[in-house]
Structure 1
Amino acid sequence: MIKGQYLSGRMLLAMPGMFDPRFERSVNVLCVHDEHGALGINIGEVRQGVRFHEILEELDIAPGVAPDCDVLNGGPVEPGRGFVLHSPDWGGAETIDVVAHDGVLCKLSASMEILRAIAAGQGPSRWVMALGYAGWGPGQLEEEMRQHGWYAAQGSREVLFETRAQGRWVAAWKAEGIDPALLVPETGRA
């Protein structure tokens, strides 16, 4: 990676043989990556035993027209904090653009406002919810990439919004033109 080149808007794919088992087959949408570090939301793993309506009810929000869908395991940092990755057709006061090479990949919201809007049928047209996030300090992600931990794929709206969580890792590799079955868990040394 070239100094000053940041990876916001990309999908960070765990390489086979990932040194941290918490991230095996992980697909993280990199929402922020700059000189201060990085923040990503894992979209490749469902949080077992948690449904969207349960979250709304815990927050005293009537589910209304919201579908009762899976909630994702967004990462090991602040695992009780909710995040919504969504289409750019909705934005609130606490919403940030996740910008990819070809424009806005999605938006990231972490407010009660978006949950109320989804329940009322006035939210974004496409969205996924996750609990927790993955975070890296300054230079940490770059070091993990040098250690064969991650591959930075192009951000894909199709992978994010049209692919089931369990299939996103394979779909993201295939979108890159790579057959993940051919990847090896180790790198060579010259």
Structure 2
Amino acid sequence: MAHSRPKSTTEGLRDHFLIAMPSLQDGYFGHTVTYICDHSDEGAMGLVINQPIDLTLEQMLRQLDLDPASDMTEQAVFRGGPVQPGQGFVLHSPEKAWNSTRKMNDGLALTTSRDILEAMATRRGPRQTLIALGYAGWGPGQLENEIAENSWLVTPASQAILFGLPPYERWNAAAQLIGIDMNLISQVAGHA
């Protein structure tokens, strides 16, 4: 009979938000919300969801020699993290699967193949999308250590925050999922 080893409190954080604590003054991760796409003994991978860059989906499609629909609405592209900043990731509603789609939960999928962008250019893509370039990565035990050092708050992810809020509201809204007002913590931390 096989025995599974007990999970630590930070194992299995896939489909959770990491919310940077105000004390995390890292130039890249300060005031970020990161959606965790993968977490195991080998490490973790996630996408920062609240740092839009100076690039729209339409501009990105044109750079990839795709001809976007003329009535395409302006959609921001996000800085997903410092690792492989040229790699694209699309978090999306799972109406359809593309060449490299991975289901995150019943209402969310992640795709990294070009075919989803081709579909989006012709308005045949998913209803809800968040496009990110690059990702955030942690080695074995690194994320667990950072959480233990109080660098991050952790909460189950919310599609309403991912797709329904402007980027500048996501940090506070994610913390409010667990009853924390980041403005109050920021003020207290500033006076410590």
* TM-score (ref. length: structure 2): 0.88
The residue number in structure 2 matching 1:16 is 22
The residue number in structure 2 matching 1:113 is 115
2:153–2:175 contact (8 Å) kept in structure 1: no
2:34 equivalent to 1:28 = yes
Kindly report which structure 2 residues correspond to 1:1-190, keeping only aligned pairs within 5 A, or say none. 2=8, 5-47=11-53, 49-64=54-69, 65-99=71-105, 104-183=106-185, 184-185=188-189
Deviation, 1:155, is 0.7
- Cα deviations across residues 17-75 of structure 1 (Å, max 9, x unaligned)? 1152210111111000011111100001111x211111101111111154231111111
2:52–2:78 contact (8 Å) kept in structure 1: yes
1:105–1:156 contact (8 Å) kept in structure 2: no
Q: Which runs of 5+ in 2 are unaligned?
A: 1-6
1:52–1:68 contact (8 Å) kept in structure 2: yes
Find the aligned partners of 2:115 and 2:145 in 1 and give their Cα distance.
Answer: 37
Find the aligned partners of 1:105 and 1:13 in 2 and give their Cα distance.
Answer: 21
Higher deviation after alignment, 156-165 or 11-20: 11-20
Find the aligned partners of 2:32 and 2:107 in 1 and give their Cα distance.
Answer: 18
Q: Hey, which bits of structure 1, 4+ residues long, moved more than 3 A?
A: none
Deviation, 1:140, is 0.6
Q: Which runs of 5+ in 1 are unaligned?
A: none
- Cα deviations across residues 102-136 of structure 1 (Å, max 9, x unaligned)? xx351111111100111111111100111111000
Find the aligned partners of 2:126 and 2:57 in 1 and give their Cα distance.
Answer: 15
1:154–1:176 contact (8 Å) kept in structure 2: no
Percent of residue pairs identical: 37
1:15–1:185 contact (8 Å) kept in structure 2: no
User: Structure 2 vs 1, CA of residues 19 and 6 (structure 1 numbering), >3 Å: closer, same or farther?
Assistant: farther
Secondary structure class of the residue paired with 2:28 = helix
* TM-score (ref. length: structure 1): 0.89
1:9–1:105 contact (8 Å) kept in structure 2: no
Find the aligned partners of 2:162 and 2:99 in 1 and give their Cα distance.
Answer: 23
Residue correspondences, number: 182
2:10–2:144 contact (8 Å) kept in structure 1: no
